[in-house]
């Protein structure tokens, strides 16, 4: 037996048996993730007061979204909250054109959509969200953006529907 044989093109076993696959079918793994005090406050503030709250490191002074307990670099606990945004600057974008399965529901994602990285005013890290502009030609790093708030807000990141370009 040649242990270096290239079997990549096989559709049947050496003896002629069909090579099978098995499908998992539908199956959801359910989770209920605790948001903890930091993300809970962040989400509740968006939901109730339409504002973005970030945390500030007592040592290096950087302001982070998502807010969090620990500044990784300083290993310092953060308890100072700072309001940032609501407007910000476009830092990066991807127009997603190739559909793929949304792991949240097992369905194909609706494409195209524009995923963005935005630096909210007063914040040192970037926030991942959406922009309603579907054409790269109209997007440019450095553009000013503002949030469009959802009417019905439930304490998720979708309490902002998307960010839109501020026209001069």
Partner 1 sequence: MIYMEKIAIIGVGQTKYEQGKPDTFAELIYEVTAAALEDAGITKDDLDDIVSISSDFWDGRTISSMAICDAIAGYGKDITTVEGDGTFGAVYGLARTLSGKFDVTLVAAHHKGTESNMNAITNTSFDPLVERKLGLDAVSSAALQARRYMSKYGLTQEQFALTSVKNHGNAMRNPLAMLPMDISVEDVMNSRMVADPLKVLDCSPLTDGAAAIILATEEAAKKLTDPAKCVWIKGVGHCSDAYRPGDRDLADTEALKRAANRAYEMAGISDPLSEIDVAEVYDAFSYMEPLWLEGLGICGEGTGCKSTEEGLFNFDGELPVNTSGGRLSANPVQVAGLAELAECVLQLRGEAGEHQVDGAKTALAQGINGMCGQSHCVWVLGK
Partner 2 sequence: MGKRVGIIGVGQTHHAAKRLDASGVELIAEAVTRALDDAQLTIDDIDAIVVGNMDHFENINYVDTWAVDGLGAYMKPVFKVTTGGTTGTTVAASGYYQAASGLFDVVMAVGWEKNSESDTQAAIATCANPILERDSFAGAIGPLATEYSMYMKAYGATEEDAAIAAARARNNALNNPYAHSRQAVTVEDVMKSPMLSYPIKFLDMCPRSDGSCAVIFASEEKAKQLCPQPAWVHASVVRHDYTHFGDLEWTYMPTLERATERAYKLAGITDPIKEFDMAELYLPASTCAVKWMDSMWFCDRGGAPELVRKGTFHMDGEMPINPSGGVISTNPIGATGLLRVGEAAWQIMGKSGDRQVENVKKALCTGFGGCSWTDVMILGAEMP
Partner 3 sequence: MPDWKDEVEEIIHDGKISVPYTWTVGSNLSRFYCELRDNGKIWANKCPSCGKVFVPPKAKCIYCYVDPTDWVELPGTGTLETYTIVNYEEPMLHPRKAPFIYGVIKMDDADTGIVHFIDEVDPGDIEVGMKMEAVLEDEREGNILDIKHFRPIG
Interface with partner 1 (CB under 8 A): 22, 24, 27, 29-39, 68-73, 75, 77
28-57: which residues touch partner 3 (CB under 8 A)?
A: 28-35, 37, 39-41, 43-44
CB 106 within 8 A of CB 26: yes
Indicate left, alpha or beta for 124 from its phi (over 0: left) and psi (-120 to 50: alpha): alpha
Q: Which is nearer to partner 3, 4 or 167 (CB)?
A: 4
Q: Does 21 bind partner 3 (CB under 8 A)?
A: yes
- Applying CB under 8 A, the site for partner 2 has a residue count of 49
- Binding partner 2 (rule: CB under 8 A), the pick from 80, 92, 138, 148 is 92
Q: Are 83 and 51 in contact (CB under 8 A)?
A: yes
Asked whether position 99 contacts partner 3 by CB under 8 A, the answer is no
List the structure tokens of 126.
């970037």
Q: Which does 69 bind (CB under 5 to 8 A by kind): partner 3, partner 1, partner 2, none?
A: partner 1
Is the distance from CB of 124 to CB of 73 less than 8 angstroms? no
Rounded (10°) CA dihedral 42, 44, 46, 50: -130
* Cβ 56 to partner 2 shortest distance, Å: 14
């Amino acid at each position: 037996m040649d242990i270096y044989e290239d079997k990549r093109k096989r559709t049947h076993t050496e003896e002629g048996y069909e090579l099978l696959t098995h499908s998992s079918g539908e199956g959801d793994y359910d989770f209920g993730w605790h948001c903890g005090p930091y993300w809970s406050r962040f989400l509740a503030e968006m939901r109730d007061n339409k504002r973005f709250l970030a945390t500030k490191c007592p040592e290096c002074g950087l302001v982070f979204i998502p807010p969090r307990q620990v500044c990784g670099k300083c290993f310092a606990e953060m308890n100072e909250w700072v309001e940032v945004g609501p407007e910000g600057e476009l830092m990066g974008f991807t127009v997603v054109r190739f559909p793929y399965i949304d792991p949240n529901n097992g369905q194909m994602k609706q494409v195209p959509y524009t995923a963005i990285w935005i630096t909210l005013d007063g914040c040192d890290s970037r926030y991942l969200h959406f922009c309603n502009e579907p054409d790269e030609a109209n997007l440019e790093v450095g553009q000013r953006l503002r949030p469009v708030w959802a009417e019905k807000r439930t304490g998720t990141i979708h309490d902002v529907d998307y960010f839109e370009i501020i026209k001069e």
